[in-house]
Amino acid sequence: MKYICLFLLLTINLLANENTLQPKTYSPWYTGPLLAASAYTLPPGSVYTQPYLYLTNTYGSYTDSFKSRSQPSVYSVTPDISFQTGLTNFFDIAVEGSSIYNNRKGKTAYHLEDITVKLGMQLLREKKETFYPTIKFRIQEYFPTGKYKNLNPEKFGIDATGTGSYRTIFLLAMSKIFYFWPMHPNKWTFNLAYQLPTKVKVKDFNAYGGGYGSNGTVAPGQTISADIAVEYSCTQSLVFVMEAAYLYTTPTKYSGTIGYALDGSLASNSSNSSMQCSLAPAIEYNFTQNVGFIGGVWFSIFGKNSSQFVSAVISLCYTF
């Protein structure tokens, strides 16, 4: 009996010593969620690159009365890459470009999308053991490098890869890491953005519809979007992500000659307001603090005058 007691005492002592050597928490590693912008600016001299790959099936749309409507699928492959670098302790800049390949009913199209430049400013840095979050303000400008005019009427609009508009986005990003469960910290990220596009001169078939003889000016709708994401650390390397996004666009207006569609009816050059809600669950695996992988699914769940889609997304993040 005394040997059993001695063994138990030794075991308890070893476990106690082991627990005292284990850290109470750790510095979590995150790639960031699939959609939301980071609330952190890069320090000067650092460079961050993140290639993405989207595999998307746009299989339907939501009507003006929020009902689902099926349509022939558009299958898309979209490679995307961004480069970001710190300018000062409070400012950074990023450039992002992408292209897209579309396929619908045997018709294909491939072209660049609109290029964007982003300038970020750090407003606040979070403090541990307080509720102070990290806050970043960003101005983002889209340049119309994508194709938006001279479209082929027999390709059902899949050769439109841009808007033809210079679009300015004002974005506020907030983030905070919580340690409610010391060994499983979780990071909350919130984005709120407003997009202001310029008017676009269009002719014939274009990204906004159009037809034979269409000639006028489109005023694209302004957009308000919001995104909230939670990254839950299972370990320092393995992270589960849940993200929800909301997008609202005001009506797109048109002035000029209407023109005629392929079937001889009056062409559509404008659109009503639209709304879309989507989810993007994902899994991250961070090899180090500077290298991480994220993969997930982004899909629509609700909307009005917007598309129904599902997209597989993978991305690799690298800071050097």
Contacts of 164 (CB under 8 A, 6+ apart): 144, 146, 148, 149, 200, 201, 202, 206, 207, 218
What confidence tens digit (pLDDT) does each residue in 93-104 have? 999 999 999 999
Structure confidence at residue 9 (pLDDT): 36
Structure confidence at residue 24 (pLDDT): 56
User: Tokens representing 176?
Assistant: 């905070």
Q: Considering the chain, what percentage of its residues have pLDDT values greater than 70?
A: 92
Position 140 pLDDT exceeds 50: yes
* Tokens 């050097």, residue located: 320
Contact in structure between 63 and 276 (CB atoms under 8 Å): no
Contact in structure between 241 and 230 (CB atoms under 8 Å): yes
Q: Tell me the pLDDT band of 10, cut-offs 50, 70 and 90.
A: very low
Rounded mean pLDDT, 289-314: 97
Structure confidence at residue 128 (pLDDT): 76
Q: Considering the chain, what percentage of its residues have pLDDT values greater than 90?
A: 86
Structure confidence at residue 22 (pLDDT): 36
Rounded mean pLDDT, 171-194: 95
Contacts of 6 (CB under 8 A, 6+ apart): none
Rounded mean pLDDT, 192-211: 96
Rounded mean pLDDT, 49-78: 97
- How many angstroms separate the CA atoms of 146 and 82, rounded? 17
Contacts of 16 (CB under 8 A, 6+ apart): none
Structure confidence at residue 182 (pLDDT): 87
Q: Helix, strand, coil proportions of the chain in percent (round to 5)?
A: 5, 55, 35
Q: What is the mean pLDDT of the chain?
A: 91
Domains of the chain listed by start with CATH number? 2-319 (2.40.160.40)
Q: Three-state SS for 132?
A: coil
* Residue 125 dihedral angles phi and psi, to the nearest 5°: -115, 140
- How many angstroms separate the CA atoms of 25 and 300, rounded? 36
Rounded mean pLDDT, 60-67: 96
- How many angstroms separate the CA atoms of 82 and 253, rounded? 32
User: Tokens representing 314?
Assistant: 């993978």
What confidence tens digit (pLDDT) does each residue in 231-254 have? 999 999 999 999 999 999 999 999
User: Tokens representing 233?
Assistant: 């650390």
Position 20 pLDDT exceeds 60: no
Least confident of 2-16, 90-104, 138-152, 192-206: 2-16
